[in-house]
C-alpha cells in the first residue's frame, strides 16, 4: 500500500475491510447525491493553468478528474486514498474520460512522504477520518509549495444534517447504542464541524488565512424510497418528485501555507 513498512492504522483497516464494500454499494448516493457540497466551491476555485493539485481522500476520483480537466494538460493531479478498490474505479473513470494528467495512489495521507510540489490541496469529505488530524494537516502542509492553497469540505453539526441525524435517531429508538469498543472509521463525519477546533488544528499545522464558508443545501439520498431505506432508514416523509431529498450543511474551509 503506502511506501512504508508500518502496518496500516486501525481506521485505514476499517475503511478497507468494512466500509469500502458499503460505500461501493451506495456509490451513486455518496458521490453524486452529495456533490451539491462541492459544486459551488469548485466553480469558485481559481485554478491557475498548469497547477499541480492534490486531492486528499479522493474516493472514486470524480473531483480529481474534474480538477485535472481544469488545470489543463500541462498540469497534474494526484488523487490519494487509503482504499485501493476505490482507486481502481477512479483509474477506469479517468481512462474512459480520456484524462491522462491525473494519477491515483493508495496511501494513508498521514504517512505519505510528500515533497513540497503542490499548488493546491483539495478534499471533499476526505479529511474527517484521520487517526491524528494535526499530523495529517502537517503532512498536507508539507506537500504544498510556499503560498500553496488548501480547500476542504467537511460536514457541519449533525443537527444541521438531518440526512444523517434522523436515521441515527430512528435506529437508536430501536437498538442499543454501539459499545465503546465498536470499530470506527476514525474521528467521524462531524469531527471537523467546530470552527474553533479546526482553526486551532490548522494553525498548529502551520496554515494561515483560515476561513469558513457555510453551505446549506439538499442532498439526494436515493432515487426511490426503497433505495433510500436501504441506505438509511425511515426516509419516506422526505419524498419530492420521486427523489428522496433531505437537508444538509457543510463548511468549505480554506487556508494557505505561508509564502516563504
Ligand atoms: C467520505 S469519503 C469521501 C470520498 C470522496 N472525496 C468523495 O467526496 O466522494 C472519505 C474518503 O477518505 C478516505 N480516507 C479516510 N482516511 C484516509 C487516510 N488516512 N488516508 C487516505 N484516505 C483516507 C476513504 O477511503 C474515503 O475514500
Distance of CA 73 to the CA centre of its chain: 25
Report CA(48)–ligand 1 centroid distance (Å). Answer: 25
- Nearest residue to 220 via CA among 37, 33, 27, 28: 33
Q: What pLDDT, on the 0 to 100 scale, is given for residue 175?
A: 57
- 3-state class (DSSP) for residue 245: strand
Q: What pLDDT, on the 0 to 100 scale, is given for residue 111?
A: 95
In the chain, what are the domain boundaries? 10-158+189-218+250-256
Q: What pLDDT, on the 0 to 100 scale, is given for residue 32?
A: 77
Nearest residue by C-alpha to atom 20 in ligand 1: 108
Q: What pLDDT, on the 0 to 100 scale, is given for residue 9?
A: 87
| Structural contact between residues 127 and 152, judged by C-beta atoms closer than 8 angstroms | yes
Reading phi first (left if > 0) and then psi (alpha if -120 to 50, else beta), residue 245 is in beta
CATH class of 10-158+189-218+250-256: alpha beta
Report CA(258)–ligand 1 centroid distance (Å). Answer: 26
**Ligand 1 pocket, Cβ-based, cut-off 6 angstroms:** 12, 15, 30-31, 57-60, 80-83, 86, 108-110, 124-126, 129-130
pTM for the model? 0.89
Report CA(123)–ligand 1 centroid distance (Å). Answer: 9
Report CA(6)–ligand 1 centroid distance (Å). Answer: 20
End-to-end CA distance of the chain: 33
Q: What is the pLDDT along the chain (260 residues), one digit of tens a residue?
A: 545 567 888 889 988 988 898 888 878 777 877 888 999 999 999 999 999 999 999 999 999 999 999 999 999 999 999 999 999 999 999 999 999 999 999 999 999 999 999 999 999 999 999 989 999 999 999 999 999 999 999 999 888 887 776 666 655 555 555 556 555 555 778 889 999 999 999 999 999 999 999 999 888 777 766 666 666 643 544 445 566 677 889 999 999 999 97
Q: What pLDDT, on the 0 to 100 scale, is given for residue 238?
A: 45
Q: At what angle do helices 133-143 and 195-205 cross, to 10 degrees?
A: 50
| Structural contact between residues 246 and 232, judged by C-beta atoms closer than 8 angstroms | no
Amino acid at each position: 500500500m503506502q511506501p512504508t513498512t508500518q502496518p496500516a492504522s486501525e481506521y485505514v483497516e476499517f475503511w478497507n475491510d468494512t466500509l469500502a464494500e458499503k460505500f461501493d454499494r451506495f456509490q451513486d448516493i455518496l458521490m453524486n447525491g452529495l456533490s451539491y457540497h462541492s459544486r459551488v466551491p469548485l466553480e469558485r476555485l481559481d485554478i491557475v493553468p498548469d497547477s499541480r493539485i492534490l486531492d486528499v481522500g479522493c474516493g472514486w476520483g470524480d473531483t480529481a478528474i474534474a480538477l485535472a480537466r481544469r488545470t489543463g494538460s500541462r498540469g497534474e493531479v494526484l488523487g490519494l486514498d487509503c482504499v485501493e478498490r476505490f482507486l481502481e474505479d477512479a483509474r477506469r473513470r479517468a481512462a474512459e474520460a480520456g484524462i491522462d494528467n491525473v494519477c491515483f495512489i493508495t496511501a494513508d495521507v498521514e504517512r505519505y512522504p510528500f515533497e513540497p510540489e503542490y499548488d493546491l490541496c483539495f478534499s471533499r469529505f476526505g479529511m474527517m477520518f484521520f487517526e491524528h488530524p494535526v499530523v495529517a494537516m502537517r503532512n498536507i502542509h508539507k506537500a504544498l509549495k510556499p503560498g500553496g492553497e488548501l480547500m476542504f469540505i467537511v460536514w457541519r453539526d449533525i443537527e444541521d444534517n438531518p440526512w444523517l441525524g434522523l436515521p441515527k435517531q430512528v435506529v437508536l429508538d430501536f437498538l442499543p447504542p454501539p459499545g465503546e469498543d465498536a470499530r470506527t472509521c476514525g474521528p467521524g463525519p462531524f469531527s471537523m464541524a467546530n470552527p474553533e477546533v479546526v482553526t486551532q488544528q490548522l494553525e498548529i499545522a502551520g496554515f494561515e488565512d483560515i476561513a469558513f464558508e457555510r453551505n446549506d443545501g439538499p442532498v439526494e439520498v436515493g432515487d426511490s424510497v426503497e433505495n433510500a431505506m436501504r441506505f438509511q432508514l425511515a426516509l419516506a416523509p422526505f419524498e419530492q418528485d420521486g427523489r428522496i431529498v433531505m437537508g444538509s450543511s457543510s463548511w468549505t474551509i480554506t487556508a494557505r501555507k505561508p509564502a516563504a
